[in-house]
Structure 1
Amino acid sequence: MRLHLYDIESSTKTTILNYCSYVQWVPGSDVVVAQNRNSLCIWYNIDAPERVTMFPLKGDIVDLERNNGKTEVIVSEGVNTVSYTLDEGLIEFGTAIDDGDYHRATAFLETLEMSAETEAMWKTLSRLALEARQLHIAKRCFAALGNMAKAQFLHETSTIADQAAQEHVSQTSVVSMAMCLLNGAFRLTLCSLTQNATEEAMDMYQELHMWDECIVVAEAKGHPMLDKLRRDYYQWLLDTQQEEKAGEVQEGQGDYLAAISLYLRAGLPAKAARLAMSRDELLTNGDIINKVSMALIRGELYEQAGDLLEKVGNSRRALECYCKGSAFLKAVELARLAFPGEVVKLEEAWGDHLVQQKQLDAAINHYIEARCSIKAIEAALGARQWKKAIYILDLQDKETAAKYYPKIAQHYAALQEYQVRSQTTIVDALCVP
């Protein structure tokens, strides 16, 4: 019962929900409603399937009704029926998009507070507005998203286009250049190089703070200011506190120590660990490994810290990190090689963790491996794995097994399966008062 989203244009399928018992499009919109166990799931913008709104449910969805500008999800809770009202403003946005009325879509979004759902909608509207070359709407979208560079550029472009229209001059070239800039560096690079407009292209890129694209143009033409451009770009990243991007620049230039330092300053220890594990010369640098591992632990990224420490041969600390991060599979695999005497203890801890996560069935075998028979029996009974419970009980002494057999007997008696036998004992099918 998995719910998939199939993209017809790219022929790709994405799983967006597991344990789905109900799904339905809201009529006349691109909104999807589904149920996942005890949760109501709503995608107000299906173009962003990762943005899902969820509410707890006590029953099962039985219907979806939309009348008089109101959309309700009907839920059966045993003898009672309740309804959940959806956000009509978000639904109307999808309807406006389907109708191609981007002004109405903008008006709807203006009335909503910024959230994960509305942010995704602003992004969708910005893309559609650019495709339709409605620059005023696209400018408003980028302003709402906080992308002031694009908003300012579109403002200037639309002003020039409006002036061209007043002077009865074609707006096509102005708008085409804007689309060229906004749709990616490669197309503009080809355009500028073909027309020998290298300086103009570089100036526009710098004005928009699109330094990567500017440097690509400079590299392609062998520009004499290339090294200065790179230095200025790096300094601009530091001045604007973009340590992650600055780290990527340093990594691309082969300065791995500086890159790791910048990743740590940016609060990205996992990215620093990924780089450290990819370079042998960094793995032998004890100071770097210690800094990265401590940053991972402070960020409670215990599994990644364990991976790094195991990579450098610090098995004991790696095992501790795996246990703290509940990465018991890696912990057991490491212990089998480095600490075989601790495997039994880890299997029990793994089983306890699974029980806490309500995964009783999965915990049974780990308890068996840990020789924790009582815990294995209780997990099997809790998971209603009656045959497994009988199998484990048959291996116990009669005194231990006696208190568990009546519960199993009551289960099979309810099913009227009176002939079920264990290997050593006829299960008493009579319910004990």
Structure 2
Amino acid sequence: MGDTTILNYCSYVQWVPGSDVVVAQNRNSLCIWYNIDAPERVTMFPLKGDIVGLERNDGKTEVIVSEGVNTVPYTLDEGLIEFGTAIDDGDYHRAAAFLETLEMSTETEAMWKTLSRLALEARQLHIAERCFAALGNMAKARFLHETNVIADQAAQEHGGDGTDHYLVRARLAMLDKNYKLAEMIFLEQNAPEEAMDMYQELHMWDECIVVAKAKGHPMLEKLRRGYYQWLLDTQQEEKAGEVQEGQGDYLAAISLYLRAGLPAKAARLAMSRDELLTNGDVIDRISSALIRGELYEQAGDLLEKVGNTRKALECYGKGNAFLKAVELARLAFPAEVVKLEEAWGDHLVQQKQLDAAINHYIEARCSIKALEAALGARQWKKAIYILDLQDRETAAKYYLKIAQHYAALQEYQVRHRHSHQCSACPWAVLSVVLSWQVAEELYIKGGQTKDAIDMYTQAGLWEQAHKVRQQPEPL
């Protein structure tokens, strides 16, 4: 266990002899830990001087404090010290007796908890019962009282303290929430009913049924019915459906899943069983529930599986499941692929996925939409490729827009021309000149030769401007 600092600025620290109580001074405070197992529980008093010693005589413990010319004794709570001493000695009866004389406080509560833990570990169950009663935990106190009655009876019949009796050991495992250990103890004694009773009281029906099944218990079917009824009574339709599915009653399971508002779970089950897929009524109920819940893609999967391709395609469309919709349309409704590709592109644009939309618009032969998406995504080369396939009238304004993008790079070139020496400059200039050549070509294609001339003139590239001026207008 690692070291833990529990007090800073400490000028004095000492164990009270024969106990686990610690006394320390922190600046102008006397600090006392009556239970060092709970370091956060500290009792503090203001001091006017410094601790000079600790005296313990005739059942009385005093901290001696020097206050100038006088020494003043501070008496510690002997009951709390005696508790620590009793704990150290393993005398839990004495520790409990001391605690019962004290008022309940944060310190004494921590001590009752410590004693309850130690008493349980030592199987001193009457002490543990007193601890839980003192702490106000009546459920544990009552449970231990019943356990003590069993232990006392076992002690009278067989000697000892009775804590070795299997029922006592099992109940202590239950108190510790170690139900598997309790089950093991019961089964070692060939007492499956007691393990089953334990699980039933805890509403741990699955574990109860596992025990009954493993032992071939005649109550197995009755238990299953009881569990199922309990699930229905407590509105646990999903769990009830899983029970029915596990027992092979798939129709009942589907009804319960639908009642629980879980049509997707019902659909998963239906698609896994051929006999359900051929049951039109079941498929109608599940698909209607999926559509009502706007689970369109799952509805499409189910309807496609049973061959209702038209309705499946409709559901895929409503659910924006375009990949499945297009794949189904290619097989069943080829004429509708183009319309679906356009809808797919529209959906991607709405989702701000312009780059992804371009190819779907191209597949749908929606050139202008593809072009707008390419421009929006700043995919200039792709936009030029699309433009080159359009008629001149449609393309003109778009050529101009893209040309302006490439022409705008002149500012970059001018900045570099006047900047400090830069090894990258020649490459930057070359890149910009190539961009201008693209811009020039686009201006000319768009019927805006004057803009190409102006671009070169503004950059002082008179030779290129003159070359453009000499070119004939495009047809």
Q: What is the TM-score normalised by the length of structure 1?
A: 0.59
What amino acid does structure 2 have at the position aligned with 1:264? L
What's the counterpart of residue 315 of structure 2? 321
CA RMSD of aligned residues (A): 3.5
> TM-score if structure 2 supplies the norm length?
0.54
What is the DSSP-based 3-state SS (H/G/I as helix, E as strand, rest coil) of the residue aligned with 1:404? helix
Q: What does 1:248-327 correspond to in 2, within 5 Å?
A: 248-327=242-321
Q: Distance in 2 between matches of 1:266 and 1:255?
A: 17
Cα 1:179–1:392, aligned 2, differ >3 Å: closer, same or farther?
Answer: farther
Q: Which residue of 1 aligns with 2:110?
A: none
Cα distance in 2 for partners of 1:229, 1:404 equals 76
Supply the AA of the counterpart residue of 1:391: Y
Unmatched tracts of structure 1, length 5 or more: 1-99, 105-132, 135-153
- Measured at CA, do residues 188 and 357 of structure 1 come closer, stay the same or move farther in structure 2, by a change above 3 Å? farther
1:341 corresponds to 2:335: yes
1:131-169 Cα deviation digits (max 9, x unpaired): xx99xxxxxxxxxxxxxxxxxxx973476469999x999
Counterparts of 2:324 and 2:276, CA distance in 1 = 23
Match of 1:364 in 2: 358
Q: Deviations over 1:185-233 (max 9, x none)?
A: 5x55434322333222211111111111111111111111111111111
Q: Deviations over 1:60-111 (max 9, x none)?
A: xxxxxxxxxxxxxxxxxxxxxxxxxxxxxxxxxxxxxxxx99x99xxxxxxx
Give me the whole-angstrom Cα distance separating, in 1, the residues matched to 2:436 and 2:255: 66
For residue 378 of structure 1, report the CA deviation from its aligned partner: 0.2
AA matched with 1:177 = M
Within a 5 Å distance, the mapping from 1:10-409 to structure 2 comes to: 156-157=139-140, 160=143, 176-181=173-178, 188-409=182-403
Aligned-partner residue type, residue 156 of structure 1: A
Cα-to-partner distance string for 1:266-314 (whole Å, 9 max, x where unaligned): 1110000000000000000001000100000000000000000000000
Unpaired segments ≥5 residues, structure 2? 1-36, 42-115, 118-136, 153-160, 411-431, 444-451, 456-475
Contact (CA 8 Å) 1:335, 1:342: kept in 2 or not?
yes
> 2:442 matched to which residue of 1?
427
In structure 2, how many angstroms separate the alpha carbons of the residues matched to 1:287 and 1:302? 19
Determine if contact 2:299/2:312 at 8 Å carries over to the other structure: yes
Q: Distance in 2 between matches of 1:196 and 1:180?
A: 21
Give a deviation string over 1:19-75, Cα, whole Å, max 9, x none: xxxxxxxxxxxxxxxxxxxxxxxxxxxxxxxxxxxxxxxxxxxxxxxxxxxxxxxxx
Cα shift at 1:321: 0.2
State the number of aligned residues: 283
| Structure 2: distance between partners of 1:397 and 1:408 | 16
User: Between the two proteins, what is the percent identity of the paired residues?
Assistant: 75
Cα separation, 2, equivalents of 1:315 and 1:407: 44
Contact 1:394–1:424 (CA<8 Å) still a contact in 2?
no
Question: Contact between 1:421 and 1:427, CA under 8 Å: does it hold in 2?
Answer: no
In structure 1, distance between residues paired with 2:436 and 2:331 = 41
Cα shift at 1:405: 1.9
Structure-2 change in CA distance of 1:178 and 1:252 (3 Å): same
Worse overlay, 288-297 or 193-202: 193-202
